[in-house]
C-alpha cells in the first residue's frame, strides 16, 4: 500500500496562505489584463465558502496574487476532501494567474511545487523546492517540500534530514505527519503511530479532513503490521470525525477483508468508490468479489480499472495497472515498460518493487533480483515487498532466501492481500516440503 508523502503537505495549504500570502500580495506588481479570468470562467466549487471568498478577493483586487493563491488553496483542499482531481486542475490555473501577476510570489511558488508533486513531477518539484530553500532557509513548509520530493525520488537520507529540519523549525501537525511517514518507512511502527497521533491531536478543530487523514495513517500502520482489529477501530474513529471519508472507507474495507469478512468489505469499498474512484480500491473490490465467488462483478471492476475512459482520467495510475497485469501474468511487455518508465521518474522503493515484480513475471530473474534488493534497501516492513522478493528468490533457486522472505511477509501481515497471501503460503509450503 503506497502512501505518497506529497499528500501530507497539502494538509497545510490553508495555513500557508493565511500566514504569508497577505505580505506577498502587498508586493504584487500592478498587472491587469484579464486576471479575473479564473473567477469568470469557472463555477467549480462555487457553493464552497472558501471558494466564494477567494473569488470576491479576486473581484476586489484583480491585480493582486492574493485572491488567486487563496482560490488555489480552496481548490486543493476540496481535491483532498473529495478525491476529485478537477479541483487540482483549477488550482493550477489559479496559481498560473498568481505567478503571471508576480513571478516571485512565494505562496504561489510553494503551491506550484505542491501540485507538481501531486502530478508526479518529482524531479521538477525538487529543483523548484531547492530554489525556494536557497531563498528561505528557515521556512518549514519548504523543508516539507524537500522531504516529499526526496522521498518520492528515493533520496531517503535527504528526506530524513529535511523532515528533521522541518520539525525542528515548526513542531506542528504537518511536520509530525512527515516524521510519521519517515519512521514508518524505516520500520519504526511504534514511533510512526506516535507521530501520526500527535499530528491528529495538533490539527485545528475546523479541519476535520486533515485530522482524519492523520488518523487513517495510524490505522494503516496497524493494518500493515497485522493488527486488524486495532485498524478497524481506528478507521472508525476517522469516519466518526469525518463521515464517509473515502480513505477511511477504503482502509476499513481492506482491514475487514483481511479479517475474512468479504461481504462487509465489499460494502465498504463500494461506498469508497462512490466517493472517489481510486484504482487501489477498484482493484481491491475486484479481488474481494473474487473471494466471494462473484466473478461477474470482479470482471466489471477489473475492466473499469483498465478502461479507455479511465486512461484519460485522473484516477488512472499506470503503476497500479502494471502491478495488476504482473499479478495475473498478462500484458507483461507493457507492464515492464510502464514499470521502467515509473522507475526513471521516481526511484523510490515502491517503483523498485513494481519493476522487480514485472521483470520476474517476464522471466528476467537477474534484473528482478537487483530491483527487489533496491526495494528492501531501507528495511521497510511491507509484506508485499517481502512476498515479491521471496517469489523471485524461489524462482532463482535461492531456497533459504525464499523461505526467509516469505515467512517474514506472512508473519508481518498474514492477510496482506485477498489473493496473494494464499499464494505466499502455498509457495512457502512447497519450499518446506523440499527441505532436505
Helix (H, G, I), strand (E, B) or coil at 103: coil
State whether 386 and 348 are in the same domain: yes
* Region for residue 347 given its phi and psi (left: phi exceeds 0; alpha: psi -120 to 50; beta: otherwise): left
State whether 156 and 201 are in the same domain: no
Q: Are 326 and 332 in contact (CB under 8 A)?
A: yes
pLDDT of residue 1 exceeding 80, the answer is no
State whether 12 and 154 are in the same domain: yes
Helix (H, G, I), strand (E, B) or coil at 83: coil
pLDDT of residue 274 exceeding 50, the answer is yes
The DSSP symbol for 11 reads: G
Mean pLDDT of 273-302: 94
Residue 388 lies in a domain: yes
State whether 151 and 218 are in the same domain: no
State whether 36 and 4 are in the same domain: yes
pLDDT tier for residue 120 given thresholds of 50, 70 and 90: confident
State whether 191 and 156 are in the same domain: no
State whether 41 and 129 are in the same domain: yes
Which pLDDT belongs to residue 334? 94
| Structural domain harbouring 162 | 1-170
pLDDT tier for residue 81 given thresholds of 50, 70 and 90: confident
Return mean pLDDT, the chain.
89
Residue 263 lies in a domain: yes
Q: Are 166 and 147 in contact (CB under 8 A)?
A: yes
Please give the angle made by the CA atoms of 159, 117 and 40, to the nearest 5 degrees: 150
Q: Closest by alpha carbon to 88, among 7, 205, 150, 199?
A: 7
CATH number at residue 126: 1.25.40.10
The DSSP symbol for 10 reads: G
Cell (9 digits) for 18: 493565511
Residue 224 lies in a domain: yes
Q: Closest by alpha carbon to 94, among 50, 155, 152?
A: 50
pLDDT tier for residue 85 given thresholds of 50, 70 and 90: confident
pLDDT tens column, 180-207: 999 999 999 999 999 999 999 999 888 8
Q: Are 205 and 241 in contact (CB under 8 A)?
A: no
Last residue of a domain, one of 140, 170, 200: 170
Amino acid at each position: 500500500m503506497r502512501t505518497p508523502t506529497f499528500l501530507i503537505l497539502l494538509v497545510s495549504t490553508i495555513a500557508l496562505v493565511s500566514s504569508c500570502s497577505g505580505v506577498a500580495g502587498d508586493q504584487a506588481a500592478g498587472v491587469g489584463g484579464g486576471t479575473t479570468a479564473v473567477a469568470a470562467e469557472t463555477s467549480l466549487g462555487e457553493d464552497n465558502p472558501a471558494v466564494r471568498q477567494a473569488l470576491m478577493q479576486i473581484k476586489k483586487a484583480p491585480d493582486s496574487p492574493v485572491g488567486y493563491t487563496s482560490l488555489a488553496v480552496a481548490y486543493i483542499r476540496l481535491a483532498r476532501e473529495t478525491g476529485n482531481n478537477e479541483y487540482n486542475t483549477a488550482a493550477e490555473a489559479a496559481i498560473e494567474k498568481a505567478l503571471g501577476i508576480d513571478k516571485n510570489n512565494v505562496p504561489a511558488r510553494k503551491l506550484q511545487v505542491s501540485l507538481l508533486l501531486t502530478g508526479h513531477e518529482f524531479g521538477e518539484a525538487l529543483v523548484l523546492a531547492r530554489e525556494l530553500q536557497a531563498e528561505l532557509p528557515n521556512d518549514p513548509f519548504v523543508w516539507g517540500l524537500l522531504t516529499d520530493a526526496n522521498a518520492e525520488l528515493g533520496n531517503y537520507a535527504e528526506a530524513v534530514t529535511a523532515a528533521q529540519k522541518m520539525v525542528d523549525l515548526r513542531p506542528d501537525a504537518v511536520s509530525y505527519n512527515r516524521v510519521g511517514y519517515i519512521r514508518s518507512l524505516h520500520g519504526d511502527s511504534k514511533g510512526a503511530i506516535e507521530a501520526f497521533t500527535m499530528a491528529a491531536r495538533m490539527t485545528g478543530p475546523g479541519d476535520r479532513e486533515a485530522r482524519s487523514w492523520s488518523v487513517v495513517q495510524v490505522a494503516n500502520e496497524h493494518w500493515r503490521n497485522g493488527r486488524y482489529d486495532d485498524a478497524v477501530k481506528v478507521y472508525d474513529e476517522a469516519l466518526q470525525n469525518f463521515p464517509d471519508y473515502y480513505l477511511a472507507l477504503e482502509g476499513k474495507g481492506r482491514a475487514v477483508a483481511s479479517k475474512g469478512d468479504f461481504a462487509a468489505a465489499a460494502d465498504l469499498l463500494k461506498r469508497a468508490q462512490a466517493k472517489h474512484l481510486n484504482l487501489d480500491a477498484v482493484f481491491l473490490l475486484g479481488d474481494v468479489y473474487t473471494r466471494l465467488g462473484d466473478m461477474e462483478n470482479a470482471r466489471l471492476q477489473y475492466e473499469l480499472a483498465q478502461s479507455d475512459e479511465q486512461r484519460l482520467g485522473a484516477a488512472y495510475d499506470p503503476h497500479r495497472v502494471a502491478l495488476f497485469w504482473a499479478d495475473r501474468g498478462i500484458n507483461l511487455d507493457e507492464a515492464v515498460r510502464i514499470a521502467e518508465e515509473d522507475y526513471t521518474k521516481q526511484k523510490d522503493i515502491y517503483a523498485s518493487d513494481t519493476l522487480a515484480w514485472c521483470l520476474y513475471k517476464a522471466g528476467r530473474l537477474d534484473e528482478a533480483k537487483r530491483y527487489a534488493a533496491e526495494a528492501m534497501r531501507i528495511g521497510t516492513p511491507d509484506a508485499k515487498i517481502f512476498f515479491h522478493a521471496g517469489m523471485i528468490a524461489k524462482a532463482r533457486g535461492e531456497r533459504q532466501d525464499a523461505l526467509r522472505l516469505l515467512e517474514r511477509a506472512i508473519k508481518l501481515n498474514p492477510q496482506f492481500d485477498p489473493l496473494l497471501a494464499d499464494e505466499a503460503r502455498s509457495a512457502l509450503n512447497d519450499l518446506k516440503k523440499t527441505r532436505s
